[in-house]
Structure 1
């Protein structure tokens, strides 16, 4: 692979990955019914709406779940994989669609886990550096992670003021990432 194609591959993978992450975050924000007046939520909505609106006309939501966001993320991941294969010198016909679909689903699963993992790490660091902060980003991260951490707190309550739910959730996420990584 030449230096130009390597640089182009890196650029496309980074920009595509960031946009896919924004679509997944939008899905999560709607799933947990996060504050959509938050400026970060508004930015994510504005960034993802141009591609999401046409898909929503075809694919409606189901039971409060924004299926269109998941479909858009999957389509974008499949397109991204095919573009990266083309840049790498592979023929599209040489790579069967089922393997690209499975790879895309695994990558999206890992991306979901990464979103939660980094959210938990940022929350943990912020609790040491700036406890009780009302930063809009931290508020969204709390809203995304609270449904999972509250379930863990029911099983393992805070002990002596220490909340172990974040650590338990990180261990679960790492285990799931290792499992999905073995599938990829």
Structure 2
């Protein structure tokens, strides 16, 4: 692959992933019941509203989950894979591979969002004023659902919270487990 082709693939992939992250953050913040009036939440809502609002009229939520945002993230992931595969190989992706890569890629992206959020929250726990910051508050609200089961399982360690370490281990294991083979049929 030529360097110009690599640059185009890099640009296409990162533009798609940027918006996929925003759409998935909207979904995950709704799952976490994060503060809707937070300035960062408002940015995420406004950035996704033009596409999600019409989709929500067609695709209802199920059990309080915003299925439209998950579907949009998946469709964007599929479009990204098709675009990259076409740029690299000049042909279409086999459907089976497209489904496998898009679903595993979406799960890995969600795990990656949680992974980064947990690391940021662990670092922010050392800064006393971090929870007063809108970003800090939102990060804490985002990572609380995946950390909660670990906090229930682990014994009290005298004020030291080991749940982020175990959550990071599980998330990294999940990401490694979902690494698809890079063989296109």
TM-score (norm 2): 0.93
**Alignment length, in residue pairs?**
181
Deviations 1:154-180 (A, max 9, x none): 111331210011111111111111111
Displacement, 1:137?
1.1
Maintained 8 Å contact 2:101/2:180: no
CA–CA separation in structure 1 for the residues paired with 2:133 and 2:168: 22
Q: Residue in 1 aligned with 2:91?
A: 91
Maintained 8 Å contact 1:5/1:88: yes
The answer to whether residue 128 in structure 2 is matched with residue 131 in structure 1 is yes
Q: Is the alpha carbon distance of 1:78 and 1:182 closer, same or farther for their aligned partners in structure 2, counting shifts above 3 Å?
A: closer
Q: Residue in 2 aligned with 1:111?
A: 109
Displacement, 1:132?
4.4
Structure 1: any 5+ residue segments left out of the alignment? none
Displacement, 1:147?
1.8
Q: Residue in 2 aligned with 1:120?
A: 118
CA–CA separation in structure 1 for the residues paired with 2:98 and 2:180: 16
Maintained 8 Å contact 1:158/1:164: no
Q: Residue in 1 aligned with 2:47?
A: 47
CA–CA separation in structure 2 for the residues paired with 1:85 and 1:175: 27
TM-score (norm 1): 0.93
CA–CA separation in structure 2 for the residues paired with 1:176 and 1:99: 19
User: Could you say what the CA RMSD is over the residues aligned between the two structures, in angstroms?
Assistant: 1.4
CA–CA separation in structure 1 for the residues paired with 2:163 and 2:129: 18
Displacement, 1:183?
6.0
Deviations 1:72-108 (A, max 9, x none): 001000001001111113311xx22121011000000
Deviations 1:108-149 (A, max 9, x none): 000000001000111111112x13421111111111111221
Maintained 8 Å contact 1:106/1:183: no
Q: Residue in 2 aligned with 1:159?
A: 157
CA–CA separation in structure 1 for the residues paired with 2:15 and 2:156: 40
